[in-house]
Amino acid sequence: MTPQAIPSRPCPTRVAVIEDDNRLRRTVSKLLDSEPDCEFIGAFRTGESAVERLPALVPDVVLVDINLPGISGIDCIRLLSPQLEKTHFLVLTVYQDSETIFAALAAGAHGYLLKPLDPDELENAVRSAGSGGTPMTSAITRKLIDYFHRPAPDSPPGETTTLAPREREVLEQLSRGLAYKEIADMMGCSYSTINTHLQRIYRKLHVRSRSEAVAAYYKIVPKGSKPKP
């Protein structure tokens, strides 16, 4: 009699959390550690400690608070993303303004969740991210849809929307989540020069903030040519 093959169990999703609130960090850690399809591998209070130690742990999903002591959660994601290309970063925050949302996504976030989050919602979001999904709180999804469905304003007579090469380079770096000073250092120019480029970009694209400029960039750049965060 031929023995029947025992079906293999799927590997658990390896999860870590970066959260400075001690109570919330313990609650999330305990919740995820109790899930049979999750393997909780680490909790970090600061972005600095996460940047130093997370790459060696190779998590599948990382929950990241934005308002951290020291470097922000957005900067943490931006620093970790190139080292953990297969890891899905989920923002878990109270912030829901457009600029913060776009900055997080530009830095490399794969999902955006608002606190407080029901335990079942959190578990489902982690499972979704572990399977390659992009979980987002419904309010955030609505904001993104509304923004990208908003009609573009008409250009004033005689004004071009064509960006100069240096302006386009500045916009590309903005889309990566870099700070203005970092862009200036990377391009070998002064902060005031970057500010001048930004004012021209805003005027040409008819936007008034960094987040709107980044959103416009994702509309005008040909598919497949956007840089990795």
Matching residue, tokens 């008409």: 154
What would the pLDDT profile of 165-187 be if each residue is shown by its tens digit?
888 888 888 777 777 788 888 89
Listing from the earlier edge strand, what are the strands of the sheet with 88-93? 38-44, 13-18, 61-64, 88-93, 111-114
What would the pLDDT profile of 57-76 be if each residue is shown by its tens digit?
999 999 999 999 989 999 99
Matching residue, tokens 């609505």: 142
Q: What is the pTM of this model?
A: 0.65
Question: In this model, does residue 5 exceed pLDDT 80?
Answer: no
- Which residue range forms the structural domain that includes residue 207? 165-220
Task: Classify the phi-psi angles of 70: left when phi > 0, otherwise alpha if psi is within -120 to 50, otherwise beta.
Answer: left
What would the pLDDT profile of 107-126 be if each residue is shown by its tens digit?
888 899 998 888 888 888 99
Mean pLDDT along residues 188-209 = 83
Residues in the chain: 229
Q: Which two tokens stand for residue 187?
A: 């391009």
Nearest CA-CA partner of 80 in 111, 94, 102, 59: 59
The predicted structure's pLDDT at residue 57: 94
Are residue 90 and residue 130 in the same domain, yes or no? yes
Are residue 140 and residue 189 in the same domain, yes or no? no
Q: What is the CATH number of the domain that holds 209?
A: 1.10.10.10
**Based on the structure, what is the number of domains in the chain?**
2
Are residue 135 and residue 203 in the same domain, yes or no? no
Are residue 133 and residue 58 in the same domain, yes or no? yes
